[in-house]
Amino acid sequence: MKNHHKAERVLFTKAMKRTHTILIPDMLPVHFEIIRHVFAEYGYKTEILHNEGREVINTGLKYVHNDTCYPALLVIGQFISALQSGKYDLDHIALMITQTGGGCRASNYIYLLRKALKKAGLEKIPVISLNTSGLESNPGFHLTIPMLVKMMAALVYGDELMLLGNQVRPYEKTPGSADACVQDWTKRISEMLNHRRGFTLPEMRRMFQEIARDFAAIPQERCAKIRVGVVGEIYVKFSPLGNNGLEKFLLEQGCEVMLPGVMGFVMYALSNQEIDRKLYGGKAIMATVSNVALRYLEAVERAMLDAIRQQGCFTAPAPFARLEKLGERVINRGSKMGEGWLLTAETLELVENGYPNVICAQPFGCLPNHINGRGMMNRIKELAPQANIVAIDYDSGAASVNQENRIKLMLSSAKRSGDPVHNVPETQLSHNVEHEYAAT
C-alpha cells in the first residue's frame, strides 16, 4: 500500500514547498484556521477554501459519480470549483486531502480526486495526502512529531472555542460578542503557535483557563432554550457546506447547540489500534504507540474539561474514557468503520448530559453511519427514554426544506415533552462522570 502509484502521480516536490500554495477544503472553520498557522511555521503556504453553495455541489456532480459518498462529492466539488474560478495560478497550486487509513471509503477519496482532476484537465495539480498511517508520501511534505503535537494542540483549542461559543451565543446580551471572542482567541492562539508557544501541557492548561474565563465574562441572559446535540459523519456533522448551515439554523430556531469536539474522533481513531490488535490481528507496535498518544491526549482533554467545569456556568462534555464505557453499553467496539461506535457513544452522552434532543447528520447511503447512528436509536431510547433523536440524510438531491421540516418536528416534540430547559440539573450521569473522571 505504501506510496501507492508513486510513479504515476504528480508529486509535491521540495521546490514546490517554496513556490506553491496548498488549498485545504473547509470542514472546521475555527480549527483549520489555527492549523493553517502551524503549517506556516513549517514553511507551508496554505489557504482554506470557503467557496460554497449550489455551484460546489454541481461541480462535484459533474466530476464524480453521484453515488459517491456525499462528503467526497463536496470536497472534490469545492476543489475543482476553486481551481476553475480563475482566482489561482494553476502552476503554483497544490491540494491537500486526508486519508484516514481506516477501512472506510475516506481512505480512497484521494484517488477519486485525481480521477476528477484528470476529467477536468487539471491532472498536473499535485495532491498531498495528510495521513499518519504511512499511506502516500511526498518529497516536499513531511508530517513530523513536533508538527503533529502542535496540530493536536490546534484541534483542542478549536474544540474549546467551538464548545464555549455554542454555549454563549444563544444567551449573549450583545449580538456577535461570542463570535468576536472566538475570532479574537483564534487570532491569539494562531499567533502563539506561530511563535512556537502554547502547545506544551502547562501552557495549554493556562490558556484553557483564560479562554473559559473570557467566555464566562461575556454578558449573558440565561433564558429558555431547547438544547440540541449534533452527532454524525465527521464532515456533515461539522461542515456548514455539508449540513446546509445546521448550526445557524438551530440557533435561529432558538436552540443551544452542542457539537461533540473533533478530538473525540482523533482519540477514537487512536484507541481503535488496540481494538485492531485484539480483534483483527493488528500490529502490537501500532497499538503501543497509539496508547502512548492517547494517554497524552487524555491529559490535555482533562485540562480543558477542568477549565470549562471550573467556571460553573458551562456544561463540560464527558471525557473520552467515559465515552468508551457508554459505547460498550450498546455496541461492540469492533464496529469501527467510519465514526463507528463513537457515534453511538456520543449520542448517549449528549442525552444523559442534558442534550436529550439529538440530530444524527449522515450522508445518504453511508452504511457505517446508518448502522451506528440510525441503527442504534431503539437501543439508546431503551436506555435513555428521554432521548428525542432524529436522523437527517444529506446528499446532493436532498431539499434543505425537507431536512429543516424534520428538525422542526423534532423540536416541537421537545417542546411538548417539557423542554426548553433553563438550567440543566446535575444528572446522575454528571456525578458518575465526575467520579470516573477523578479516578482516571
Report the site for ligand SF4 in 263-292 (rule: CB under 6 A): none
272 or 369, CB closer to ligand SF4? 369
Q: Where are the beta strands (DSSP E) in 223-333?
A: 226-232, 255-258
CB of 368 vs ligand SF4, minimal distance in Å = 5
255 or 343, CB closer to ligand SF4? 343
Per-residue CA distances from 82 to 51, 110, 152, 279, 372 (Å) = 7, 17, 28, 43, 34
Per-residue CA distances from 216 to 1, 45, 129 (Å) = 49, 35, 39
CB of 419 vs ligand SF4, minimal distance in Å = 30
Separation between Cα atoms, residue 341 and residue 278, nearest integer Å:
16
260 or 356, CB closer to ligand SF4? 260
Per the structure block, which three cell numbers stand in for 171?
Answer: 444567551
Report the site for ligand SF4 in 80-119 (rule: CB under 6 A): 104-106
112 or 257, CB closer to ligand SF4? 112
When asked if residue 242 is in the footprint of ligand SF4 (CB under 6 A), the reply is no
Separation between Cα atoms, residue 63 and residue 77, nearest integer Å:
8
110 or 348, CB closer to ligand SF4? 110
Question: Can you give the C-alpha Rg of the chain in angstroms?
Answer: 21
Q: Scanning the structure block, which residue is given the C-alpha cell 429558555?
A: 224
192 or 231, CB closer to ligand SF4? 231
CB of 411 vs ligand SF4, minimal distance in Å = 26
When asked if residue 233 is in the footprint of ligand SF4 (CB under 6 A), the reply is yes
CB of 184 vs ligand SF4, minimal distance in Å = 34
CB of 240 vs ligand SF4, minimal distance in Å = 17
Question: Exposed/middle/buried for 221, CB within 10 Å: 0-12, 13-18, 19+?
Answer: exposed
**Among the residue ranges 11-19, 146-154, 208-216, 367-375, the one whose residues contact ligand SF4 (CB under 6 A):** 367-375
CB of 340 vs ligand SF4, minimal distance in Å = 9
Residue from 24, 31, 25, 26 nearest 259 by CA = 31
Residue choice 71, 170, 356, 373 for contact with ligand SF4 (CB under 6 A): 71
Residue from 328, 320, 326 nearest 347 by CA = 326
Per the structure block, which three cell numbers stand in for 229?
Answer: 446535540
> Do 177 and 161 touch, CB atoms closer than 8 A?
no
CB of 13 vs ligand SF4, minimal distance in Å = 29
CB of 393 vs ligand SF4, minimal distance in Å = 11
Residue choice 229, 261, 264, 368 for contact with ligand SF4 (CB under 6 A): 368
Q: Provide the 10 A C-beta neighbour count for residue 437.
A: 18
CB of 237 vs ligand SF4, minimal distance in Å = 11
Within 8 A by CB and 6+ apart from 113, the residues are: 72, 75, 76, 79, 95, 97, 127
Phi, psi of 227 (to 5 degrees): -95, 120
Separation between Cα atoms, residue 108 and residue 72, nearest integer Å:
9
70 or 355, CB closer to ligand SF4? 70
Report the site for ligand SF4 in 22-61 (rule: CB under 6 A): none
101 or 420, CB closer to ligand SF4? 101
Sign of CA pseudo-dihedral 172, 176, 177, 178: positive
Report the site for ligand SF4 in 337-366 (rule: CB under 6 A): 338, 363, 366
When asked if residue 262 is in the footprint of ligand SF4 (CB under 6 A), the reply is no
106 or 308, CB closer to ligand SF4? 106
Per the structure block, which three cell numbers stand in for 428?
Answer: 446522575
Residue choice 166, 369, 372, 388 for contact with ligand SF4 (CB under 6 A): 369
CB of 83 vs ligand SF4, minimal distance in Å = 23
260 or 368, CB closer to ligand SF4? 368
* Binding region for ligand SF4 (CB under 6 A): 69, 71, 104-106, 233, 338, 363, 366-369
